[in-house]
Amino acid sequence: MKRHLLEAADLDRDDATLVLDTAAQIDQALAGREVKKLPTLRGRTVVNLFYEDSTRTRISFELAAKRLSADVINFSAKGSSVSKGESLKDTALTLEAMGSDAVVVRHHMSGAPHRLAHWVRGSVVNAGDGTHEHPTQALLDAYTIRQRLGRLDGVRVTIVGDVLHSRVARSNVGLLHTLGAEVTLVAPPTLLPVGVGSWPAEVGYDLDAVLPKSDVVMMLRVQAERMNASFFPSAREYSRRYGLDAHRMGALPDDAIVMHPGPMNRGMEIAADVADSVRSTIVEQVANGVSVRMAVLYLLLGGSPQ
């Protein structure tokens, strides 16, 4: 493994499989235990550096580090030195001086974790940067698919929605391709980046044509502000053409699953009865997020094995 996890491309197939296998071992080790805690990172310090509000991702990383017995510091941009104008570099040097072993960073600007990695000696884990990547989300998605379907090789994954602005999509395209899955992107053309043709994925505009050939459908969140910028005419039209409702779900193969990275817009990109159906993995994704993040921190920080 590389020292940092900044993007899906930092993981080759062996590394990615190792993360998933390690997460599975952690799940087994903790299954049925009353005290869900391992001593592997005792004495190590993990900083959660969050420039963007993200309760679920921060809590997931926090829980992951705590279950490995690491000391966790939460540093949020609001109400801190950052809101007083401190630069990313100065914040990095401050954390460095305090002796952090890993920095988990969420940032609204693409590439910020790459910059941070230049300024700290410890490991940097990208917890989502702008519209670039969110590699641990892709890992937990891959873990969930493998858990449900028993494999990743040859699995047909369809990612639907705002690919243009989605770090989840970018990381998933990269990681799932690395792991042998076949990825198809479906979106209105306005929400696909110019240059998407160079990605290792098929691209289509017609959701109904792709669903019968999908083992996994991953619905992306559509931000309300996209509507004001003419990416599509209205929420209703988007929902009609690209939303997943019960009728559309019926076109999926029998054992296909429905995923969503959350938070969902019920009634927009995903209907409530789909989100709550047996095909939906949305709650499992959250649980798996903790295990996968434990695996990442464990492998990057090289904690002593149990």
Q: Is 84 considered catalytic here? A: yes
Q: Which one of residues 115, 156, 177, 226 is an interface residue with another protein (CB under 8 A)?
A: 115
φ, ψ at 52 (rounded to 5°): -135, 140
Q: Where are the beta strands (DSSP E) in 108-253?
A: 123-129, 156-160, 182-186, 202-204, 216-219
Please report how close the Cβ of residue 255 comes to another protein at its closest, in angstroms: 32
CB of 108 to another protein, least distance (A): 8
E-strand ranges in 130-283 read 156-160, 182-186, 202-204, 216-219, 257-259
3-state SS assignment for residue 61: helix
Concerning whether 132 is annotated as a catalytic residue, the answer is no
**C-beta separation of 116 from 96 below 8 A:** no
Whether the Cβ atoms of residue 305 and residue 40 lie closer than 8 Å to each other = yes
Build a one-symbol-per-residue string for 267-296: x at contacts with another protein by CB under 8 A, - elsewhere: ------------------------------
Say whether residue 83 binds another protein (CB under 8 A): no
Asked whether position 190 contacts another protein by CB under 8 A, the answer is no
Encode 2-16 in three state secondary structure: CCCECCHHHCCHHHH
Closest CA to 289 of 21, 59, 16: 59
Is the CB of 110 or the CB of 265 nearer to another protein? 110
Q: Please, which residue, 21 or 86, has the CB nearer to another protein?
A: 86
**Judged by CB under 8 A, does residue 114 bind another protein?**
yes
Distances (CA, A) of 273 to 17, 157, 263, 279: 33, 21, 16, 10
Question: Among the candidate windows 24-32, 58-66, 73-81, 194-202, which touches another protein by CB under 8 A?
Answer: 194-202
Choosing from 44, 167, 260, 279, the residue that interacts with another protein (CB under 8 A) is 167
Contact residue for another protein among 81, 83, 87, 306 (CB under 8 A): 87
Q: Is 91 a catalytic residue?
A: no
Shortest distance, CB of residue 256 to another protein, whole angstroms? 28
Contact 215, 157 (CB under 8 A): yes
Q: Tell me, what DSSP letter sits at residue 49?
A: E
- CB closer to another protein out of 88 and 282: 88
Catalytic residues: 56-57, 84, 106, 134
Q: Contact positions toward another protein, by CB under 8 A?
A: 87-89, 107, 109-112, 114-115, 129-133, 167, 170, 193-199
